[in-house]
Amino acid sequence: MTPGSESRAPARGPAIRWIVTAAFCAAIIAAIVFGSAWLYRTFWGAGAFVERYISRIAVGDAAGALAMPGVTPEYSDLDRIGRGQASEALLRSATLTSSIDDVHVVSETKGDDGAVTVVVGYALDGSAQQMSFRVASDGFDGLVPSWRFETTPLSVIDLTVRGSWRFSVNGFEMDKRQLSPAGTEADPLEPVSMLTFAPGNYDVAVDTAAVTADPARVTAAGPLDVVPVDVQTVPTDQLIDVVQKSVDDFLNGTCTTQTVLQPTGCPFGAPSDVSGLGIAQDDVTWTIVDYPKTRLVPDGDDWQVAPANGMARLTVTVNDYFTGALVEVDRDVYFTMVADVDVREDGDVHITIDAV
């Protein structure tokens, strides 16, 4: 043992204890910092606030989502984009049918005005997408920061449905007259504006006895975005049959029963060479040989029978102007007709027939 070794050895103990203590304190501080950052990111931060909103609409909690600060828009916000009368009919759990998962914060950027732009990624019905939100501080709840949406995350769908007052969105049935500010005086071709949760997919469909339309999908994916959708219905076989029967009944019940050369309001009449031949006797008879086959085409908010050809047969005895003889006439008369079709509220079909 060298001189002085006894005095140096005991000094190592306090140094080691100091190092261990410092390392322990550093570990505690790091844990606190890391834990606080994790808690902020997971529960307290702007991104966590947005994630909670998306999680609520993902599970169909419409009331919970609407209760979050800043989700329900002010009238002034809607008026600024010309949608002050937008309907809230779709802000219900029944319309939240989209599958939303893999929700994660992509970025958080604080602007000069103090608002935070949060970009969130997610899978919407299996498709990877992103949406940007603007979030602002809303004070503190105790020691925990509170947040609100500076811009509502709701979108607006502008919907036009041609050929039907009724339609469904994600299976929820509605009527345009219930949504329009004009009520029963609504223009059938005027778009109706509806607030929707975003993100989300919305399938607009029509399924009535008279008309149908396959689902048209529209995606709401932006704060106060206005998303237009235009749905053209098609006639059902039932409507086509009703129109065809109505045409046949009109030709038989209104036209062929008139014992005149020019039946009133009908798409056919005696050719000029017959009507100019002489004086028709009382035996004028019309029969339909070939009925026009109806084909419906869109006509604004209703339907029209496209020009269709048919053939009627005229039999009549004519007193010849020049000879005085009675001439038997048996003539096939070809004609073309169109018709306006009005499908009324009670399901009745009103048809106005005319010649081309």
Q: How many separate domains does the chain show?
A: 3
Which residues lie below 8 Å from residue 83, measured CB to CB, with a gap of 6+?
A: 156, 193, 226
267 neighbors 291 (Cβ within 8 angstroms): no
Three-state secondary structure string covering 23-91 = HHHHHHHHHHHHHHHHHHHHHHCHHHHHHHHHHHHHCCCHHHHHCCCCCCCCHHHHHHCCCCCCECCCC
Residue 294 is classified by DSSP as P
**Matching residue, tokens 């005086």:** 185
In a domain, 246, yes or no: yes
pLDDT of residue 302: 87
Q: Are residues 213 and 258 in the same domain?
A: no
- Strand-pair partners of 298: 303
In a domain, 4, yes or no: no
Which residues lie below 8 Å from residue 317, measured CB to CB, with a gap of 6+?
A: 280, 281, 283, 326, 327, 328, 329
Q: Are residues 227 and 241 in the same domain?
A: no
Predicted structure pTM score: 0.80
The runs of H, that is alpha helices, within the chain are: 5-8, 12-39, 46-58, 62-66, 75-80, 176-179, 237-250, 272-275
Q: Which of 194, 217, 233 finishes a domain?
A: 233
In a domain, 23, yes or no: yes
Q: Determine what percent of the chain falls in helix, strand and coil, rounding each to the nearest 5.
A: 25, 40, 30
pLDDT in tens, the chain (356 residues): 455 445 455 556 676 766 656 555 555 554 444 444 444 454 468 999 999 999 999 999 999 999 999 999 999 999 999 999 999 999 999 999 999 999 999 999 988 887 899 999 999 999 999 999 999 987 766 656 789 999 999 999 999 999 999 999 999 999 999 999 999 899 999 999 999 999 999 999 999 989 999 999 999 999 999 999 999 999 999 999 999 999 999 999 999 999 999 999 999 999 998 888 888 899 999 999 999 999 999 988 889 999 999 999 999 999 988 888 899 999 999 999 999 988 876 667 888 887 66
Q: Are residues 273 and 299 in the same domain?
A: yes
Closest CA to 316 of 278, 288, 290, 289: 278
How many CA atoms within 13 Å lie on the side-chain side of 27? 6
Closest CA to 338 of 278, 292, 282: 292
What secondary structure does DSSP assign to 205-219, as a single string? Answer: EEE-SSEEEEEEEEE
Give the rounded distance of the alpha carbon of 78 from its chain centre. 19
Q: Are residues 241 and 324 in the same domain?
A: yes
pLDDT of residue 15: 66
Q: Are residues 49 and 133 in the same domain?
A: yes
Q: Are residues 197 and 65 in the same domain?
A: yes
- Please give the residue range of the domain that contains residue 202: 45-233
223 neighbors 198 (Cβ within 8 angstroms): yes
